[in-house]
Chain A
Amino acid sequence: MSNKKNSIWSFFASVKLALFVLFFLAIASVIGTVIPQNSPPDAYIQEFGANMARFFQILDITDMYNSWWFISLLIMLALNLTICTIERLPNVWRLVVQDNLQTDIDRLAKMRPGKEILTSVSLDEAADRCRASLAENGWRAKEAPRDNGILLFAQKGPWTRFGVYIVHTSILVIFAGAMIGSHFGYKGSVMIPETRSADTIFSFNNEEPIKLGFEVLCKRFTLTHYANGAPKEFRSDLAILENGKEVLTKSIVVNDPLSYKGHTFYQSSYQSYKKFLVSLTDNQTKQTESFLIEPGKEIKWPAEDVTFGIINREMTETPFLYKYKVWFKDSTGIAEPFWITDGDTITVTRGGKDYTFALKEFFATGLQVTKDPGVWYVYIGCTLMLLGLMVAFFLSHRRIWVYIKQEGDTTSVLLSGNANKNRPTFEKNFDAVSRSLDEKIKSRS
């Protein structure tokens, strides 16, 4: 190790550095919450003046969480964590695996908590009783003969000494996940009008088109409201097409995305066009046609000699759900209007003829598309962090030694214990063992 212990190494191995880095990360992070991030350059000039805006540009403050100096702070933190761990782990490892039956007897006598019991029972008998007492209290003891006596040793949770290193490693795992995500993944968005499909999305970073390698079809988008007018649900019925064939369908809402081949499609926005999708079927001839129409315009279906158009709208009893008045004429010449609620399908009868008429407002759904192969590493890191914190904070390495030795007619039983954390709790456990040991040894067999 000594050749490694140069000044750079010890700089990164110090906890002082960790404190400074945490402090500077906290201070630096404030800047980006006060100064708006990633606004257009003009916005900064307007708000802060030309000089300040130039200063921001030089220090990358307009995108500071991706700036070289902020990333450097994060790298410092990662290096600090790594080197601290490498530096301290060997010692901790020794503590975890060491043979505690070799512990110096003089040290045991000085350990706190500790207790000495003198008895007239024989060495072997006392040892038997100690073994039984430890076992009763849930301590599994190993033993070895030491200096004309017997040393018993039992421990709980030696591995808990790794708790803090689990936490530190978890942060590195999260960093790794974030890096994997930013190198091998991307985020983008796409706006897909109903009944259309898209095979390309647009990157958030540079607006570059990205080919998906498959198509996403938006079959239908529905928007519903609460009575107070607040949006209740944005829902897109999506399908994945491979070579024009549907391979997967899912109805997505906010908080419930669709995943396919490493890509995840999130409901993020929508666009309204003040247009309507109409699907019209002649039930006799089974001819079907779809139309994208604007209200107030006359639409012709020459093949069937049908003319129709939307002439009015009213809100239904359901708030923010509209019904539309449609004027409809076919070869029979009857031109009676009818009402249809948005999203409904009805049968229109004209003389002896039936038509199936479906109408809904036309939307495009806005999807955010994410490919992030690192996200599972981030989640694993998060889980490790919580587990590690619990181990580091609430569990401890507890050790109990019992040294039994014959001194003339009396046998001395020396009980000592040690915990690396949460000592008051350990002392209670120790007292329980000590009391039970005392009773056992003093009882007549």
Chain B
Amino acid sequence: MTSSQLLGISTLGYLVASALYIATLIFKTKKSGIVASIVTIITFLVQTAGIGLRWYESYHLGFGHAPLSNMYESLVFFSWAIVIFYLLLEVKFNNRLIGAFAIPFAFISMAYASFGKGITQEISPLIPALQSNWLIAHVITCFIGYAAFAVACGLGCMYLVKSSAEDKPDAGLIGTLPGLTVIDDIIHKTIIFGFLWLSAGIITGAIWANSAWGTYWSWDPKETWSLITWFIYAATLHARFTRGWQGKRIAWLAIIGFVSVIFTYFGVNFLLSGLHSYGSS
């Protein structure tokens, strides 16, 4: 078995899990939900093994490094982080229907990693700028934050779907979703969690930049966009804490915030130029 085979299987596994979670939502069948969870957990274990094996393989190639160094590896880790975050939510809130709005993100991330244009899957050695322990701290903190924001965005969509169908009583599949106040509460908690990790991600990035280049902040497009994302979520939290924003407004902000995350992640690499260019292939 090679790591790319294991990661290929995980792509497929998340596709199946996404389908099962969506089926559970539509057909209200309890059993398919349990199967979806099982498939997700098994796929997650396979993916974890794949990431571990890729790490091991890099040592075999003579330049061992954690598999967190390029676009492909970050996408795999992004999907991994979404799944573990979702599984914890599933256990904590004992609700499988959230899966239909979270696991597809994990699948899309893996599918894009595998089939996206210009994404190389090759394990390549680290250029001097990336040879730092801050690489691991920076990538892990950022992507845990991103994963939480992805789930918050999925929950935001879920909230909007549910609230738009509120007027029609007992509207089929919508009726099986958790209550609006519950969703609202989970969105809020997820954003808080993501915000803490995003802050840590920006800070570890700044410390790393200072140790590599002697500047902790240089208004590089990637840095600036991460700060824009931070401003959006900071504003969201203030709107909720001090002005009592709830429900639809917060759901929309969770979606807008994630659009900013996605732009920070991809848009900057593909549309703008800057210090993070090595993350683009």
Enumerate 24 A-B pairs (CB-CB under 8 Å) in ascending A order.
Answer: A15-B242, A15-B243, A18-B235, A18-B238, A19-B235, A19-B243, A22-B231, A22-B235, A23-B235, A32-B224, A33-B268, A37-B219, A230-B124, A230-B127, A232-B128, A255-B129, A255-B132, A255-B212, A368-B213, A370-B214, A372-B214, A375-B210, A385-B203, A386-B199
CA distance A33 to B215 in the complex (A): 18
Interface size band for B: 35 or more
Cβ contact within 8 Å between B225 and A33: yes
Cβ contact within 8 Å between B195 and A234: no
Cβ contact within 8 Å between A393 and B124: no
Q: Give chain A nearest CB distance to B237 CB in angstroms.
A: 9
Q: Which residues of chain A in 223-241 are interfacial with respect to chain B, using CB atoms and an 8 Å cutoff?
A: 226, 228, 230-234
CA distance A254 to B124 in the complex (A): 18
- Give the nearest-CB partner of A77 in chain B: B231
Q: Give chain B nearest CB distance to A273 CB in angstroms.
A: 21
Cβ contacts under 8 Å, B132 to chain A: 255
Cβ contact within 8 Å between A386 and B200: yes
Q: A228, A264, A368, A390: which contacts B196 (Cβ < 8 A)?
A: A390
Q: A22, A26, A231, A378: which contacts B128 (Cβ < 8 A)?
A: A231
CA distance A266 to B212 in the complex (A): 7
Cβ contact within 8 Å between B232 and A26: yes
Given contacts A18-B238, A22-B231, contact A389 B195 (CB under 8 A): yes
Q: Which residues of chain A in 318-341 are interfacial with respect to chain B, using CB atoms and an 8 Å cutoff?
A: none
Q: Does A137 contact B (CB under 8 A)?
A: no
CA distance A437 to B268 in the complex (A): 59
Given contacts A26-B228, A226-B125, A228-B124, contact A255 B131 (CB under 8 A): yes
- Give the nearest-CB partner of B232 in chain A: A26
CA distance A404 to B217 in the complex (A): 59
CA distance A231 to B125 in the complex (A): 9
Q: B125, B203, B228: which contacts A386 (Cβ < 8 A)?
A: B203
Q: Does A162 contact B (CB under 8 A)?
A: no
Given contacts A228-B124, A264-B214, A379-B207, contact A389 B235 (CB under 8 A): no
Cβ contacts under 8 Å, A382 to chain B: 203, 206-207
Residues of A within 8 A of B (CB): 15-16, 18-19, 22-23, 25-26, 29-30, 32-34, 37, 65, 178, 187, 226, 228, 230-234, 253-257, 264, 266-268, 368-370, 372, 375, 378-379, 382, 385-386, 389-390, 393
Cβ contact within 8 Å between B63 and A226: yes
Q: Does B221 contact A (CB under 8 A)?
A: yes
CA distance A386 to B203 in the complex (A): 9
Cβ contacts under 8 Å, A234 to chain B: 128
CA distance A37 to B273 in the complex (A): 11
Cβ contact within 8 Å between B239 and A19: yes
Interface on chain B toward A: helix, strand, loop, or mixed SS?
helix
Q: Give chain A nearest CB distance to B235 CB in angstroms.
A: 4
Contact with A along B161-193 (1 / 0, CB 8 A): 000000000000000000000000000000010
Cβ contacts under 8 Å, B219 to chain A: 32, 37, 65
Cβ contacts under 8 Å, B275 to chain A: none
Q: Does B234 contact A (CB under 8 A)?
A: yes
Given contacts A22-B231, A266-B213, A375-B216, contact A253 B238 (CB under 8 A): no
CA distance A379 to B208 in the complex (A): 12
Cβ contacts under 8 Å, B238 to chain A: 15, 18-19, 22
* 4 nearest A-B residue pairs (beta carbon): A370-B214, A254-B128, A26-B231, A33-B221
CA distance A390 to B193 in the complex (A): 9
Task: Taking A22-B235, A255-B128, A255-B132 as given, write out 17 further A-B residue pairs in contact, using a Cβ cutoff of 8 Å, ordered by the A residue number.
Answer: A16-B243, A19-B238, A26-B232, A29-B224, A29-B231, A228-B124, A230-B127, A231-B127, A233-B131, A257-B211, A257-B214, A264-B214, A375-B216, A378-B216, A379-B207, A389-B196, A393-B192
Cβ contacts under 8 Å, A386 to chain B: 196, 199-200, 203
- Give the nearest-CB partner of A379 in chain B: B207
Q: Does B9 contact A (CB under 8 A)?
A: no
Q: Does B272 contact A (CB under 8 A)?
A: yes
Q: Does B89 contact A (CB under 8 A)?
A: no
Q: B125, B203, B215, B234: which contacts A22 (Cβ < 8 A)?
A: B234
- Give the nearest-CB partner of B234 in chain A: A22
Residue of B128, B213, B224, B272 contacting most chain A CB atoms (<10 Å): B128
CA distance A423 to B41 in the complex (A): 31
Given contacts A15-B243, A268-B213, contact A33 B235 (CB under 8 A): no
Q: Give chain B nearest CB distance to A190 CB in angstroms.
A: 13
Q: Give chain B nearest CB distance to A204 CB in angstroms.
A: 10
Q: B195, B199, B212, B231: which contacts A254 (Cβ < 8 A)?
A: B212
Given contacts A231-B128, A254-B129, contact A30 B228 (CB under 8 A): yes
- Give the nearest-CB partner of A389 in chain B: B196
Cβ contact within 8 Å between A368 and B214: yes
CA distance A379 to B238 in the complex (A): 24
Q: Give chain A nearest CB distance to B216 CB in angstroms.
A: 6
Q: Give chain A nearest CB distance to B244 CB in angstroms.
A: 11
Cβ contact within 8 Å between B214 and A187: yes
Cβ contacts under 8 Å, A255 to chain B: 128-129, 131-132, 134, 208, 211-212
